[in-house]
Amino acid sequence: MRIAVCDDVRGFRNQVKKLIHSYNDKYVVVEYSDGNELVQTKEPFDLIFLDIDMPGMDGLSAAKELRKREDAVLIAFLTSHDEMVRQVFKVDAFRFLGKPVNPKELYEVLHSAESELQKTERILIKNRGEQWEIPLNTIDYLEAYGDGTYIYDSKGKVYESSEQLKNWENRLQGKYFFRIHKSFLVALSRVEGVVNEEAILFGRTERLKIARRKVVEFKEAHWDYIDKHAKVI
């Protein structure tokens, strides 16, 4: 996920950036010191943390300019003034966070943003004259074969891609996929369990081999995903 943090206080921007990276260190975070600087950029973002009260162009004005471009980016407003809450929803605010920022509330915003983006994120496959568009949240795992890749979804379909698995690994970086073996890249959301050196996926009978050197790291990544995303009773 690409995230912008726009606030006129450098120390606060650094704090938010550290919290974001403590949640997922693969996220790209870009800092802006005022609304005009943010509006002028042509960089694409999935989520923007935007301070309302800034000198020059304030957060609300910046958000209005972004919306004029029909920008569908998710905007989470930051402010220490609770009375501003009603105004932020006039520009289709995704979330509202008070200052100082509560880490748990910020993590909840990141989790909600991931869920929102997964509804629309797709991968496009072109191979041998065929073209397929696959929702990212339906993919179970990817398997290397020769110079290409098989992609398995939760409905039992198998797609063939001419791209190598290492290329898919780079493309899916930060999307909660883990390379468990030279042959397999799995979606952490689809992992039901880890037994010895095998990964078990929801609804699948096959077990995927985990490279011995990857077992500990994979278990930690799986547990971290559960801790952040699952509701375990």
The count of other CB atoms within 10 Å of the CB of residue 123 is: 18
Instruction: For residues 5 and 225, give the distance between their C-alpha atoms in angstroms, rounded to a whole number.
Output: 24
232 band by pLDDT with thresholds 50, 70 and 90 = low
Please give the pLDDT value at position 227: 81
- For residue range 8-51, list pLDDT tens digits in order: 999 999 999 999 999 988 889 999 999 999 999 888 888 999 99
pTM exceeds cut of 0.75: no
Instruction: For residues 137 and 114, give the distance between their C-alpha atoms in angstroms, rounded to a whole number.
Output: 11
Q: Which residues contact 123 (CB under 8 A, 6 or more apart)?
A: 133, 134, 136, 139, 151, 171
The average pLDDT across 80-91 equals: 61
Q: What average pLDDT is seen over the chain?
A: 88
Q: Which residue has the tokens 């650094």?
A: 14
* Strand residues in 13-64 grouped as ranges (E): 28-32, 47-51
